[in-house]
Amino acid sequence: MLAIDATTLVMSLLWLLGAGVAATLGYVIYRLGNQIWAMIRQRRYDKANGQLAPPWRDTKVIAVVAQIAFAIVVVAVGWFLWGNFTTRTDRIGLELNFDFLDQPAGITIADNPLSPADTVSEALVAGFMNTIRAIIVGIPLSVLLGTLIGIARLSTNWLLSKAATAYVEFFRNIPPLVVIIFVWSGVYLTSFPRATESWRPLGGWLVLNNARFGFPSVVGLDNFVAFRWIILIALVAAVVVGVWRTNVHVKTGAAHHRILWGLGTFLAIAVVAYVVLGGPADFSKPLLSENGREFSGGIWMQMPYAALVSGLVLYTASHIAEIVRGSIQAVDKGQVEASEALALSSFQRYRFVILPQAMRIAFPPLINQFLNFSKNTSLALAIGFAETTSIIQNLNGQSLPAPQLTLLLMLMYLLLSLILSLIGNLINRRLQIVGR
């Protein structure tokens, strides 16, 4: 059923892509037609007034002819390339369809239940989910680290400022692939022991080796479903309390302490629900066999995943740090002087005055860094992490059609980029000051 749904989804995306291209071409033709009609009317007017210039001296005529010539060249080149492509595929007997999505993938993924008998579409979904996991964890960490480094670059502490500058200049001028490989082979593989000699700190609640990390996790017992719903209600209640405290602060000037109030509300509801439901959840301890091959319990993180996220965070944070530094310097100095006149501490100046205004300036270029992060996850191919690009590469080795697989790869990254752009633009619109 998953394969059929995936095939339908792919075809729907292709139709949407085709509709988008057709709409774009229609818009281009419409605009070009308007320019031609405007040129014709202008020349008629000039002719009626005895001011008609030769076509080769009329800038509007030259502009329209140049655009038409460019469009003809683009169409001719595209037609030529498509003709060569279809001729080649017909010669080698390659079918241009997506029926192969229902075929067995013939590959496996580490720490994933996918088997060689599962379909190609299921393998693509597994790789796509791994890409999303890297993005969800990596982007917030990049923003956090980059913001701290950007602030450190403006510190009056000479050592801290120079250390932040050295960090930025070092990682910003190294290709991200080199950073990922360095973190993978130079840090994780050499700094942690083999699986048979794993470190087990905190009484075995953590398992650390150069193959994977093991952490404790929460497992559900009786009444766990009801407990999850109550936790969701507790989160909503915490948000409502935080909004209420903010409104109290705005109206009365009293300290809001919204984080403490919200956290207290959440913990109170969660603890009462846990006791009333008789302990519906418990912690699962990560367990690893002596030979280092069998693991259970807890939650496990592959070392290639950790290396990919760490490498991209280090690299992306160096670019974000420069964006944050420039945005802080763009804040009106009068704002900083006013905060100093109010005797605010350095933390309070950044928390309440500088950073809120700087982030309005920084967020548009930050969206580009989010897009770069998502596309740079494809570099995981070099360290063996089974994300989207790596899965496509493995499927190419199973005698599956490379053109369709490459097209699917591009569609997946296009989808990710569009989603990130949409979310980023919505947040950016929320951050902007509404003009009056």
Q: How far apart are the first and last CA of the chain?
A: 53
What is the spatial distance between Cα 59 and Cα 62, in angstroms, rounded to a whole number? 5
Q: What is the pLDDT of residue 114?
A: 83
Per-residue pLDDT at 308: 94
Residue with structure tokens 């210039």? 53
Nearest to 388 by CA among 398, 399, 377, 396: 377
pLDDT averaged over 10-residue windows placed end to end, the chain, 436 residues: 54 74 84 85 82 80 87 90 87 80 84 84 89 94 95 92 94 94 90 87 88 87 87 93 88 83 92 88 85 82 92 96 93 84 83 87 93 94 90 86 87 89 89 64
Please tell me the distance from the alpha carbon of residue 167 to that of residue 170, in angstroms, as a whole number.
Answer: 5
208: which residues sit within 8 A by CB, 6+ positions away?
192, 193, 198, 199, 200, 201, 214
User: Strand order of the sheet with strand 299-302?
Assistant: 207-208, 212-215, 299-302
Calculated CA dihedral for residues 125, 131, 132, 133, nearest 10 degrees: 110
SS3 of 142-163: the string is HHHHHHHHHHHHCCCCHHHHHH
Query: What pLDDT sits at residue 151?
Result: 93
> Virtual CA dihedral for 142, 148, 151, 156, nearest 10 degrees?
-150
Spatial CA neighbour of 32 closest among 8, 4, 68, 1: 68
C-alpha 346/C-alpha 148 separation (Å) is 14
The pTM assigned to this predicted structure is 0.83
Helix residue ranges, H only, 213-354: 224-252, 258-276, 303-330, 333-341, 346-348
Return the pLDDT at 434: 61
Tell me the C-alpha distance between 389 and 395, whole Å.
Answer: 10
Alpha-carbon distance 357 to 335, whole Å?
10
